Amino acid sequence: MRIALRLAVLALAAAGCANQQTPEVESPRSTNAPRKDIVIQFGDMQIEPSVARVKQGGSVAWTSVSTNFIGVLSFPDSIVEKFTCKELRPDFYVAAGRLMSIEIQSGQENVVLPCPLAPGTYQYRIDLTSGGTGIDGRDMGENPQLTLPGTLIVE
């Protein structure tokens, strides 16, 4: 009886394995829907959301929730031509081949893009340091203690 029961269990298990199909592998999907306006937070070790989606014409802001660092947001300077405005100051300036923001500190005002970007995918980074870096963070990009990568998708 025990042998018959074991054989029946083995037969059912084998039949179950034979009927299983290999699931198709899908690309990971974004967990956030595009929004008209979005606030991206960064902390000591991560950016949330790391892939942010904003609708064309929308506003994008970055805020710090870091307890240990001051951050500077930067994009490759090729992004300058993708803005719908030409004046990016006072919160952004071009230096060393990058469009850089003023320092972003926890508990202070958000840094907001000066105007909307054209549709596209834009890679950026947040350079973190534990101390002040001078006026407008101009020394930040040279020696950050940590760099956090992020992506902004304008749809």
- The share of the chain scoring above pLDDT 90, in percent, equals 66
What average pLDDT does the segment 31-45 reach?
91
What average pLDDT does the segment 86-105 reach?
96
134-139: Cβ within 8 A, 24+ apart:
136/93, 136/100, 136/102, 136/103, 137/70, 137/72, 137/100, 137/101, 137/102, 137/103, 138/93, 138/95, 138/100
What average pLDDT does the segment 24-49 reach?
78
* Residue ranges of domains in the chain, CATH in brackets: 35-154 (2.60.40.420)
pLDDT per residue over 137-146, tens digit each? 445 556 899 9
Cβ neighbours of residue 15 closer than 8 Å, sequence gap 6 or more: none
pLDDT band at 136 (very low <50, low <70, confident <90, very high): very low
Average pLDDT over the chain, rounded to an integer: 82
